[in-house]
Homo-oligomer: A and B are copies of this chain.
């Protein structure tokens, strides 16, 4: 049983997925000097295995994946899943106990690994979760191999503007949360240049929260498309490519050692290919 708000959110995530795929395919078209054909997304639906024997519809998702001439690998996944939380997660998740362990979750996840080492990698995710509570979470962050002050400024400014336009959001808090979250303690290194991270957003005004979640998706898509367009024509060297492949190793280390979404997905029987879609297409550990 879903209500109108859940349907609205799920519809928004699917629409944002379409917009992301369209924008990324347009960037593929723009790179006409490449000898390769422009990439196109292929979509693969998956169903979630049931964890509640009395109910056989536990939702699922659609992975949209493209291997192109601008994006070496870019995934845009949406999912709408429901079911019963394990006793362990029931206690860990807000409202999990009160809901008798029942949950519903919908979201979108975007991870882009460009071919060029001069085009930053990026990640965006927003989700709505319903137990006895209902809230939004998500974030966006940028991982350049060679950080440029003007790119970082543009990325941060876009997310700040999205936050500043919505009274329910606290930019300074979300930015600091992102820096804390995307950090590799064993390396003493940040994963990238940050962005924003938020969770448990439930201000009491659902429409306002939803409007902010939408704004994050739109702001990310606009600024990231712009950054890709800015750098995709620049020539790069083998040394720069090697640095990118090494940098991607840090991305893998973060996602497998620390990322909550990844370990949550793998340990709760999520779709393995969808959960690990974030892993870069080619990586080196010299």
Q: Which residues of A contact B (CB under 8 A)?
A: 67, 73, 186-187, 245, 249, 252-253, 256-257, 263, 266-267, 272, 275-276, 279-286
Bound together, the chains give a CA A257 to CA B252 distance in angstroms of 11
**Nearest Cβ distance between residue A84 and chain B, in whole angstroms?**
20
Chain B residue at minimum C-beta to C-beta distance from A253: B256
| Residue pair B272, A280 in contact (C-beta under 8 Å) | no
**Copies of this chain, count:** 2
Chain B residue at minimum C-beta to C-beta distance from A269: B186
**Nearest Cβ distance between residue A86 and chain B, in whole angstroms?**
15
Query: Beyond A186-B272, A256-B253, A256-B257, is A281–B281 a contact (Cβ under 8 Å)?
Result: no
A279: contacting residue among B266, B272, B281, B285, CB under 8 A:
B285
**Complex contacts, A267 vs chain B, CB 8 Å:** 186
Q: List 20 A-B contacts (CB under 8 A).
A: A67-B286, A73-B285, A73-B286, A186-B275, A187-B272, A249-B279, A252-B256, A252-B283, A253-B256, A253-B276, A257-B266, A276-B285, A279-B285, A281-B285, A281-B286, A282-B283, A282-B284, A283-B283, A283-B284, A283-B285
Known interface pairs A257-B257, A281-B284; 5 further A-B residue pairs with C-beta atoms within 8 A, sorted by A's residue number: A245-B282, A252-B252, A256-B256, A257-B263, A283-B283
Bound together, the chains give a CA A280 to CA B245 distance in angstroms of 13
